[in-house]
Every structure is written in structure tokens, then in C-alpha cells.
Amino acid sequence: MAVISMTTGAAEARRETFGTLADGTKVDAVTLSNSHGMSARIIALGASLQSLMAPDRHGKFANITLGYAKLDSYVQKPQYFGATVGRYANRIAKGHFVLDGHGYDVPINDKPNSLHGGTRGFDKVVWAIGDVKHDAGKASVSLSYVSPDGDMGYPGKLTITATYTLDDSNRLSIEYRATTDKPTIVNLSNHAYWNLAGEGSGSVMEQRLTISADAYLPVSDSLIPTGEIRNVAGTVFDFRKAKPIGADVRHGDEPQLLFGHGYDHNWVISRSAASTPRMVAKVEDPVSGRVLTLSSTQPGLQFYSGNFLDGTTVGTGGRVYRQGDAFALEPQLYPDTPNQPAFGSARLAPGQEYRNLIVYEFTTQKL
């Protein structure tokens, strides 16, 4: 884990080459920084957050999101680090759904299901970098991708933009927008893995999590929601009051934890999307004092406790990532919504616009 002191200055956006793919495609990176020295680096492969430098309570900076130092690692061992996931984030049961009376099959890449758009989801394509801007108070970059009709089996040409903005209030926002030329399904999210003590520093199990939800979605042994919406009261899924991530993760009498090797479930924030972001989760690290507050417009929040990090991945700072060394919080629609009408709708029609606004706010707590 690299920890460094940083000087402050005006907001800035800087573009550079991150690497080159085997076919000769250049992959650029844009680093956004604010006047407090905080910075976020976004790479065009997967419109991914590659690093996020944030201060602790003593003003020391560390990279608090998991990733790779080199492009080759993203290609050779993709793990969704910081990536934009879609066309449908999370799982679709058996890789099949029906839309407007027509059946569609999408690639199965997670047990019997399709996960995060299939074998070549949006995390594995190179996005076009558009506007790179900065002024006195914020810096931003917009990336775009056009997914053709039939891409990974999904209908409709989908045109997507992902805009990252870092402001002087130490907030990083990601806004996803999408339009289509014929009816399709859409569910986009960001799959950043976080460790508020610094990537590669060890377990996050003592970091304290709050999730603003009274219910969650139980899953089958293949991690597809059963259709039940279950109250969190009296369960290991109750994070309405802050508690360590690992406080209940070893409860062997809870089959839901056995299915996911820990937490890999969707919490019910609301029954429909909101027009403006509201607070959905907060994580506090008692050691560093870093606090992450997450806001979103989406009705669901997938919380994943880093269950499948297995000690075979060397991260950005040269340290190995092991089980429980990070957590992911992914605002989104409920998993498998296209097959479960009671969950709402993932349908996007021509003339409509899909939108997901995610805001990560970084603060510190005193001892």
C-alpha cells in the first residue's frame, strides 16, 4: 500500500496513455484532481476507476480502490476492478429473458447465469474519451460507447455515456446515461472495490458499514433472487445501524452466507428509481478515519464482501488481494428484474433515457 503526502492546487484533468492492447489499440487514462490533492484515475478500458487517492485523518493520502498497475493485467485477469458493468449489471437467470413477447439468450458466464453483460460486457471494451474538462471547482471526463444491436444477444443499439466528476468537496460522481433505437433492457453500475485503509492493506472486516434499507433479496444457491423481499430485522443482513462488515459474516447457521461465501446480495433501497441521489450506504474505517458516503438514484444496492478474492491477484501497489480485502457497493436495479416482474422493469424504449447517478463522498473522522 502506497501512502504519500500530496500538495494542493486547482482542479485539473490530465490525459495520458495507460497502455496498448495486443491489436494495437491505445488505451488512455485521465487523472482528475481537486484543490485538496485528492485524485481519481479513469482508464478507457471498461470506463474503469483505476485509482482513487484520498486523505486519512492526518492528511496522508492512499489509493483506496483495488486495481492493477498495468493494462496487461486487466486483460489477462479481468475482475471488474472499478469497471462500468452492463448491458445488464448483476445476474440474469440462465442467461434468458423475454421482452415484448420475444425471448433472448445472453452468454452464461457465472454458474448457470449471465453476469454483468456476459463474456464481453462493457468492462472489456475500450470506451471513447470525449470531453475532458476542469475549472476552479471540479474536473471531469466523459466516455462513450455504442453497443450494437445484438451485442452479447441484447436487442437494440445502445448509446452510453459515463461521466466522472471530482469536485472540491471531495465528491466523485459517476453519471451513466443511455438511449436505444429499439426496446431493450439496461442496468448499468460501477464495480469499484474499496478498502478505506488503502488497497493491499489487508482485511476490511473491521470497517463499519451502514445500509439504509429495511429489506434485502434472498437468493438461491446460484445467487439468483428467489422473488421474496425479506425484512432485515433480526438477520445478519441488518446494517441499518453501523456495524463491522465482518461482525456476522461467519454465521454458519445462515444459508444465505454459505451461498455467496459471504455477502453478495441486493438490498432494497426503494421500489423505484429516484430523480435525485439519496444516501444509501456509509462505510467508516476506524483506523485511518476515512469515511465513504454513497448516494444514488437507484432502487437497489448490491453489497459484495470480496468473497472471491483468492490471493492470486497482485494489485496496484504490489500487494496480494485476499478474501475479504475489499468490499463493493453497486447501486443498480434488482438482479434478474427482466425475469421477475414484481421487481419492476428494466425496459428502455426509443425516446427514453436511462440514468444512474452515483456519488461517492469522502470525509474523515477524528479520533
Residues marked active site are found at 191, 330
Nearest-angstrom CA–CA distance, 67 and 82: 7
- Coil, helix or strand at residue 221: coil
Q: Which residues of 220-256 are buried (b: 16+ CB within 10 A; e: fewer)?
A: eeebbbeeebbebeeebbbbeeeeebbebbeeeeeeb
Residues 6+ apart with CB under 8 A from 326: 66, 193, 194, 195, 199, 204, 306, 309
Q: Is residue 260 left, alpha or beta, with left meaning phi > 0 and alpha meaning psi from -120 to 50?
A: alpha
Which is nearest to 188 in space by CA: 351, 353, 327? 353
User: Is 128 in contact with 162 (CB distance < 8 Å)?
Assistant: no
- Amino acid at position 204, single letter: V
d(CA 175, CA 197) in angstroms, rounded, equals 26
CA distance 185 to 272: 16
DSSP per-residue letters across 44-67: TBTTEEEEEEEE-TTS-EEE-B--
What is the rounded CA–CA span in Å between residue 110 and residue 222? Answer: 9
